[in-house]
Structures are given as C-alpha cells and as structure tokens.
C-alpha cells in the first residue's frame, strides 16, 4: 500500500495534488505537511504534520511515524522571490532535495520532485524548446532546478532511486494562490476580472510564456508517478506543455466574458526573468514515453477559472 508524504502541501500545487491523491489513494494514506501549524481549510480532513524540510531529523521522524514509502517534495522558493534572497533560495531548494533523495536510498519506493521551465535561459531556443538543449538559467531558482535535475539523474543512475520529475510551465488554478513566481500574473488577472477591477500587469503585453491549467498539471504528475518505471526514460526532468499566451491574449479572452475588463502594463524586474524563458515547449518525450496529453487551452482555462472563482469569491 502507498503511504504518501506531500512536502509543501499548502502551496498552490500541493493543495490540489493532495486533494487528488487523497481521492485516489484514500485520505488516511496521504499525509500533508507544511511550515504552518495547521493545514489550510481544504486539507483539514486528512492527516497533517508541521514540517520544515530543512530539519532532517523531523523529516525522519515523520517518515517513520507514518511508514511513508512515497514523497512528493514540492517545497521551493520560486523565481521572483528567489532573486530577493538568492542564498536562502539556493540553500532551501538544494538541501531539501538532497535530504529527500538520501531517504530514497533505503526507505522510499518513489520520489516526485518538480522542475520548471526556469531551467532554460536566454541562450536556449525560444520556440518549441527541445527536451535536450542549451540550458543557461540566470535566476537562482532556475540554477537550483537545473542542479536538482542533475542530482535526480545522479541518484537514479548511482543508487537506483526512483525519482521522477516534470518541468512545469506556469500553473493556473483557482483553489490556492501561487507565491513568488513570474507566471503568477496569470492567476491574479482572473481574481481582478471577476470582481470588476482593473489589472496592472508586471509583464509587458507581448511576453509569451508556456502555461498550464492545474488539473492538467495534477494529471501529468500522477500519470508520471503511476507509470511503470521502464516508461520513465528521462531521469532528469520531462518537458511538459499545454498552451502558451501573452498578457494581451489572456486579457482578450477574459473580455469575451467581461467586455469592460481593463489591463495596463507596468513591467518590473520579473520582465527580465520572463524574457529569459521559452515561449513554447516541445514535450514530445512525455507524450511518447508515458502518453501525456493535455486537455485545457486558453479558452477552456478561462471558462473554468471564471466559473469557479465566481462560485468561491463573488
């Protein structure tokens, strides 16, 4: 039986992944953990542990207590926040991964760890970015994700640790807010639109970035974790894609629902980060190796975000 620990369960992806895994594996078999004393409201029904993953001892105690055999390690400092405190971001993102990978040597059957399009940089081909290409990240987040990918492959090759990973694009969902990313505008914009407010975008109107609706991201993650090990041919991290759009395009799509919606542009330091990332991603390896398929494009994303946010907020 799988006993799963989610590290960073109260975050944007963690919340939705925990809910889905509890539905699939049984609430009692999925232990949420995060820095907070108590879980967020959506996660109060199942087991919860307060955990700072920098505390290796506390991590070991939780593994032992719940007889954990799978870990989803989602805790990280993201791209924009990482630039404010680079050393801390490096320390947290790297040390926590190594702690989890070490546990993979004996106790854990499988590990999931997210990478990101941030592993790419200004020298990377921008369109249809291949799985294997020039990688020259220039954010501390991107550097830590690229180094993390190398560590994942190393632990798989050297110690047989079954660690699996996806390079997420910007993730957009309505259940939990993102924090500290460059793609966060694409969540905030919906929150402003449904309450009839004007949106000031911190990226310029033509900044094209790869994005994905949360249900697709959760599905990809669980599909990758559930597929037979022999199908997982990439042990660094898989490119993953669904749609790409600019702030101007998402605003136009929102205007199909709210014709008076207004957007202004005031690019800040995050513009440089966005400019260094690809506009679109070639994820054919994921599609060919374990059958990845996305469901949501910009139109479906916008309909779903607006319908659900209207129910929860307005």
Residue 116 CB, shortest distance to ligand AKB, in Å, is: 3
> Least distance to ligand AKB from the beta carbon of 84, Å?
13
Q: Give the residue among 94, 243, 78, 239 at the shortest CA–CA distance from 165.
A: 239
* CB 195 to ligand AKB: min, Å: 23
* Structural contact between residues 167 and 239, judged by C-beta atoms closer than 8 angstroms: yes
If binding is defined by CB under 6 A, does position 78 make contact with ligand AKB? yes
Q: Is 141 a catalytic residue?
A: yes
170 binds ligand AKB (CB under 6 A): yes
Within 8 A by CB and 6+ apart from 311, the residues are none
Are residues 171 and 217 in contact, defined by beta-carbon separation less than 8 angstroms? yes
Give the residue with the Cβ less far from ligand AKB, 43 or 118: 118
Residue closer to ligand AKB (CB basis): 181 or 279: 181
Q: Which of 33, 129, 182, 244 binds ligand AKB (CB under 6 A)?
A: 182
CB 198 within 8 A of CB 159: no
Q: C-alpha angle 8/111/161, rounded to 5°?
A: 145
Closest residue to ligand AKB, based on beta-carbon distance: 181
Residue 50, phi then psi, degrees to nearest 5:
-75, 125
Residue 306 in the binding site for ligand AKB (CB under 6 A): no
Spatial distance between the Cα atoms of 296 and 210, rounded to a whole number of angstroms: 13
Under the binding rule (CB under 6 A), the answer on residue 79 touching ligand AKB is yes
Q: Which is nearer to ligand AKB, 21 or 80 (CB)?
A: 80
Q: How far is the CB of 210 from ligand AKB (least distance, A)?
A: 8
Residues 106-165 that bind ligand AKB (CB under 6 A): 116-118, 141
Nearer to ligand AKB, 49 or 149 (CB): 149
**What are the structure tokens assigned to 268, written together?**
């800040």
For helices 185-194 and 247-255, angle between their N-to-C axes, nearest 10 degrees: 20
Q: 7 near 100, Cβ under 8 Å?
A: yes
If the CB atoms of residues 99 and 144 are measured against ligand AKB, the closer one turns out to be 144
Mask: binding to ligand AKB, 266-305, rule CB under 6 A, as x and -? ----------------------------------------
Task: Compute the least distance from the CB of residue 24 to ligand AKB, in Å.
Answer: 25
Q: Is the dihedral of CA 59, 78, 184, 199 positive or negative?
A: positive
- Return phi, psi of residue 244, to 5°: -135, 140
CA max distance for the chain: 58
Binding site for ligand AKB (CB under 6 A): 78-79, 116-118, 141, 168, 170, 181-183
Q: What residues are annotated to the active site?
A: 141
């Amino acid at each position: 039986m799988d006993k799963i620990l989610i590290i960073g369960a109260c975050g944007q992806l963690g919340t939705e992944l925990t809910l889905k895994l509890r539905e699939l594996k049984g609430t009692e078999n999925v232990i949420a953990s995060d820095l907070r004393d108590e879980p967020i409201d959506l996660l109060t029904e199942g087991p919860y542990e307060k955990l700072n993953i920098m505390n290796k001892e506390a991590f070991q105690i939780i593994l032992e207590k719940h007889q954990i055999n799978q870990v989803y390690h989602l805790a990280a400092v993201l791209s924009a926040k990482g630039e404010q405190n680079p050393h801390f971001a490096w320390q947290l993102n790297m040390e926590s991964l190594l702690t989890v990978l070490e546990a993979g040597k004996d106790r854990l059957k499988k590990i999931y760890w997210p990478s990101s399009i941030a592993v790419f940089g200004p020298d990377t081909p921008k369109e249809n970015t291949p799985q294997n290409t020039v990688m020259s990240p220039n954010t501390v987040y991107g550097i830590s994700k690229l180094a993390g990918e190398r560590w994942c492959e190393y632990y798989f090759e050297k110690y047989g640790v079954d660690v699996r990973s996806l390079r997420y694009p910007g993730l957009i969902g309505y259940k939990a807010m993102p924090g500290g990313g460059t793609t966060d505008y694409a969540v905030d914009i919906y929150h402003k639109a449904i309450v009839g407010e004007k949106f000031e975008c911190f990226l310029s109107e033509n900044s094209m970035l790869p994005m994905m609706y949360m249900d697709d991201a959760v599905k990809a993650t669980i599909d990758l974790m559930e597929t037979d090990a022999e199908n997982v041919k990439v042990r660094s991290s898989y490119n993953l894609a669904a749609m790409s759009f600019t702030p101007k395009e998402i605003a136009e799509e929102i205007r199909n629902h709210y014709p008076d919606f207004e957007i202004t542009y005031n690019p800040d330091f995050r513009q440089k980060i966005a400019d260094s990332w690809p506009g679109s991603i070639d994820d054919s390896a994921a599609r060919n190796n374990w059958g990845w398929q996305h469901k949501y494009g910009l139109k479906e994303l916008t309909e779903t975000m607006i319908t659900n946010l209207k129910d929860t907020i307005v």
